[in-house]
Structures are given as C-alpha cells and as structure tokens.
Amino acid sequence: MVAVRSRDVDRFIARPDPGIDAVLIFGPDQGLVSERLARLLAHFADDPADPFLVSHLDEAEILRAPGRLAEEVGGLALGPGRRTVVVRGAGGAGASAIAEVLGAGRAAVLLVAAGDLRSGSALRKAFESSDGAAALPCYADDERAIVRLIDQVLAELGQTIESDARAALASRLGADRLASRGEIEKLSLFAGPGARITVADVEAVSADASQTTLDQVVDAIADGDPARLEIRLARAFESGTAPGQVMRAVLLHLQALHRIASDMALGARADEAIGRVRPPIHFQRRDGFARQLRRWREAELRRAMEVASEGERASRGDQGLAATAVARALLQIAVLARSSRN
C-alpha cells in the first residue's frame, strides 16, 4: 500500500516498486494522467498494443457487466508475460467493483486512470490501503517540473535551449502536460535537428493563448483594477490554467517591475531598465510595464511580492482550496496597486 507524494511520482514511475501490481493514476491534469498511464503500461506490458496482453475497460463497461473486471484481472496470459488491465474514467459508481478486485488475488497488473479525487474518496482509500497497490497524484506542473519537461523532451530530440529561452517557454506552459509536450515538440520541429533554441525561436512559435490569458490577469492586477481581475481570473480558471501557474506569473511580473524600478532609482532610463530584464519582455508588453511603473511605489511593490509569495505557497497545498487562496491574494495585490497611485 503506497500513497506516493506528488513530487515523488516521476521517481516512482521511473523505477516502480516490484511489489506493486495495481496503480491508480489520478488528478486534475488529465494530460499528465494519460502520459503517466502510458509510461506505466510500457513498463508492465511487453507489447502495449497486443490485445492478448492488454485489456482496456472504462467505468461504464464495468457497470454494464458486473464481474467483468474480476474476470479480466484474474485471467492469465495465453503466452509468456503477464497481462495488464487498464481502466479509464474511474472514480464514480465503479469504485466499489475496483475495490473488490484489489482485495482479491490478481493474475494481471491493474492500472486505473481517474480524474481529480478527494483524499477521502473510496477509490483513493482503496488503493492507499491495499497490499501491492499505489496511488499516484497528477497535479498541474510546477515551474521546476515544467523546466524538467522542456529539457527532457529536447534532450530526447537531440536539441538544447538557451536559459533565457527556457524561462520564456516555461512561462507559457503548465496547464496540461500533453499540451505542454505538444508545444515543446512544435518548437523543436521549427528549430530543426541539433538546434540550440533561442528566445527568438520561442517568440516565433510558441502558442500564446494561455500566455495572453495570464497577461490579462497580470495586467488587471498591476493596473489596480479588481473588477477586471475578477473577469480575467474566472476565464483563466475556466480555460484550465492552474491557480499556481497564475500566482507564479504574477510573482514574476512583480519581481520584474521591482528590478526595473530599482535600476531606475540608480539612474537608468525606463527603456534601458526594461531592456535589461531576463527573460526579455516582449515588445508588445513594454508599454504596459512603463504604465505600471508610474503607478507603483517601491514600498507597495515589496509588500505585493510578499503577498504573491504567500499566495504561491498556498497554491501548492490542498488543490480544492488553492483557487480561493490565490483569488484572495490577487485581489489584495490589486487593491495595493490602487492605493499605490502616485
């Protein structure tokens, strides 16, 4: 019985415990759930495409044919190797049937993919308390995980990336693992075999829909507009942007504003200070930075960064409460921006 912590999931998948033959993969990031399910299937099945070695079910099939899951999990392979049974879309009424299978002997490996499950849900409790079973959470990638994904995918494709370009790309990814992987692969194709990818490559290729949504949230906050923030933040969450990703974007924006303000206090012109920021600020965003610099005083910027840091820490906690904690922190920063007007 293993309840794997989120930060340890990749390590577990790279070297699954040989005593584990039933795994639940669950979480709000369904792209990440799918990717990890595929990696586990490749580990357990000699040929994941062989229908004699791998059976695929969904929860509806389990409910339509009681006993089907037990038959599949209890069945032996017709040749060398061990069979694997994959169940997708679990977490509802089929949880009891899956729990029953966990309590019995298994001839086949059982892999179960589910959506976001509360800590007290029947399916999670079944896997976390059964011998030979493990539960793997899949939450939206944090910044370090996104950077690792970028380096991993590009290394597999024989490419490297400059540090500024990595930071620029990472800021545009994270809501969904499969979508992030797709964006990295698209960038790789654009850059060409063996390329060292630059910021210019990222700017030329990377899809900007999620980044535009984040920019709109960030600007509503830094401009001190709580009403606009409420609308933009709701749209960001509806589009699948994770609370932690929003909070990190705001924190990075405030840190950039503070660095620019500090350089200007030492005598730099606004355009010079903005040009020194790394990763570089897109030319279409520079007027917004200049406008916001006229609004914020240094004391309020420092306080806003403290609030953003607290909100970023809160976003790593209970995922059910993360959106509320982030929204509260962002509203507090927007109010600070209004009071900071010179």
What is the structure's pLDDT at 319?
61
- Which residues of the chain have a pLDDT value below 70? 1-2, 77-80, 140-142, 174-176, 206-212, 317-320, 340-342
Listed in order, the ranges of the chain carrying CATH 1.10.8.60 are: 143-205
pTM value? 0.52
Do 182 and 174 meet the contact criterion of CB atoms below 8 Å apart? no
What is the structure's pLDDT at 78?
67
What is the structure's pLDDT at 247?
87
DSSP 3-state of 342: coil
Residue 320, amino acid: G
What is the structure's pLDDT at 222?
92
Closest-CA residue to 176 (of 24, 23, 311, 27): 27
What is the structure's pLDDT at 286?
83
Strands 84-90 and 133-137: unpaired
Strands 2-3 and 22-26: unpaired
Q: Which CATH architecture fits 209-339?
A: Up-down Bundle (1.20)
What is the structure's pLDDT at 194?
92
CATH of domain 143-205: 1.10.8.60
Measured between alpha carbons, how far is 16 from 117 in angstroms, rounded to an integer? 22
Kindly state the tokens that stand for 172.
């545009």
What fold characterizes domain 2-137? Rossmann fold (3.40.50)
Listed in order, the ranges of the chain carrying CATH 3.40.50.300 are: 2-137
